[in-house]
Copies of this chain bind each other. A is one copy, B any other.
């Protein structure tokens, strides 16, 4: 029986466990964006994007507000970018080690 915190952690990671959702976070890195900007940037169908946004919002990673017809999404805590960056560093280390091993 894992502690509750561990379950919540796993849910955060689950929310990040899709390329499209990571792309969305990168798009929101320099500020909030409305769905109508996110959809064309991802070259993906609008309902699909809407669901991915919902997943991130449900986990408290994003929040949104309406402005006329548009819905604008933004990142709640910039620390999420540290998480993404750290993950990339991890991959870099791993990749460099592999290179050393196989070359």
Number of interface residues of A (CB under 8 A): 40
Known: A17-B13, A22-B10. A5 touches B88 (CB 8 A): yes
Q: Is the interface of A mostly helix, strand, loop or mixed?
A: helix
Residues of B within 8 A of A21 (CB): 10
Copies in the complex: 2
Residues of chain B within 8 A (CB-CB) of A80 are: 90
Instruction: Please state if A91 and B8 are interface contacts (CB–CB under 8 Å).
Output: yes
Interface residues of A (CB under 8 A from B): 1-2, 5-14, 16-23, 26, 43, 60, 76-77, 79-80, 82-84, 86-91, 93-94, 97-98
* 3 closest Cβ pairs, A-B complex: A14-B17, A2-B19, A13-B16
